[in-house]
Amino acid sequence: MSQSVEKVEELQQIAKELRRDVIYMVSRAKSGHVGGSLSAAEIVTALYFSEMKLDPAQPKWPDRDRFILSKGHCCPILYAALCRKGYFSREVLDTLRKVHSPLQGHPDMRKTPGLDMSSGSLGNGLSIGLGMALAARANEKNYRVYVLMGDGEQEEGAVWEAAMAASHMKVDNLVGFVDCNKLQLIGRVAEIIDIAPLADKWRAFGWNVVQIDGNDMEAVLDALDKVRKVKGKPSVILADTVKGKGVSFMEDQVQWHSKAPNEEEAARAIKEIMEGEKA
């Protein structure tokens, strides 16, 4: 491990606050996806608050790094990050899922400042990321492209078409993350269509594979450091996570995929997240 203690602690604090904002937004909207938002908090935080080259004052800056939330239903965590980066003000969080809100139930790049791609139909993000990565090559830009997928999403065939093409084209400015939280919409990934052995599959498709505890901030930062140095092939970070991470009654519980906490549950969840203990 090679990160400074101060940096890791600062990012852990940001991840906590983003988790809090997810609960706040979804409970207020009375609908939205909490489980897969909470599992991805460290990944999204490390990308937006450490790794990615961005300028919130110029959301369309051509040299910015790109992020695609291929598991688009988990947009509450992304909206929380974009808000904290300064792309829009905190009052906007109150409008999640409302008609005409910039924060739709699934990401809409025409509406949300700072959003690089619309998503929600699973399986498409990696192909789009590959296109963006190839565009950087064609335009002689050195931006990098990050795509966050779900583990259930690995069941989509299009993921593997993109995987095959990316290694064939030796694209090394494309990084995939898989949020391996073991659950999808109505059950366990292993029981619906088992994706194991996932690392072997990605390796067989020609990718550099890094496996980490995806809820360990330092591990996420170390993985990003590692993949930045890999040349001539794309990298994927398989992140072992817990769905609903940070809230005891949501952790590893399939019903919290898309259930909105009521007022009392939200208060309990936020207390646990911010105090780091079961309320």
Q: Which residues bind Mg ion (CB under 5 A)?
A: 150-152, 181, 183
Nearer to Mg ion, 116 or 151 (CB): 151
The reply on whether position 71 binds ligand TPP by CB under 6 A is yes
Look up residue 80 and give its amino acid. Answer: A
**Residue 120 or residue 131: which is nearer to ligand TPP going by CB?**
120
Q: Would you put residue 229 in left (φ > 0), alpha (ψ -120 to 50) or beta? A: alpha
Task: Indicate the residue type of 254.
Answer: V
Site string for ligand TPP, 88-107 (x = CB under 6 A): --------------------
Q: Could you say whether residue 120 binds ligand TPP (CB under 6 A)?
A: yes
48 touches 85 (CB < 8 A): yes
Nearest CA among 107, 67, 87, 83 for reference residue 21: 83
Q: 71 is in the binding site of which of Mg ion, ligand TPP, none (Cβ under 5 to 8 A by kind)?
A: ligand TPP
184 is an interface residue for ligand TPP by CB under 6 A: yes
What is the separation of C-alpha 90 from the centre of its chain, rounded to a whole number of angstroms? 20
Residues 6 or more apart in contact with residue 88 via CB below 8 angstroms: 82, 102, 112, 113, 114
Question: Which is closer to Mg ion, CB of 133 or CB of 183?
Answer: 183
* Partner whose binding site includes residue 107, from ligand TPP, Mg ion, none (CB under 5 to 8 Å by kind): none
Question: Which is closer to ligand TPP, CB of 31 or CB of 121?
Answer: 121
Q: Which of 265, 163, 159, 214 is nearest to 36 (CA)?
A: 214
Q: Site residues (CB under 6 A) for ligand TPP?
A: 35-36, 71, 73-74, 120-123, 150-153, 179, 181, 183-185, 243, 257
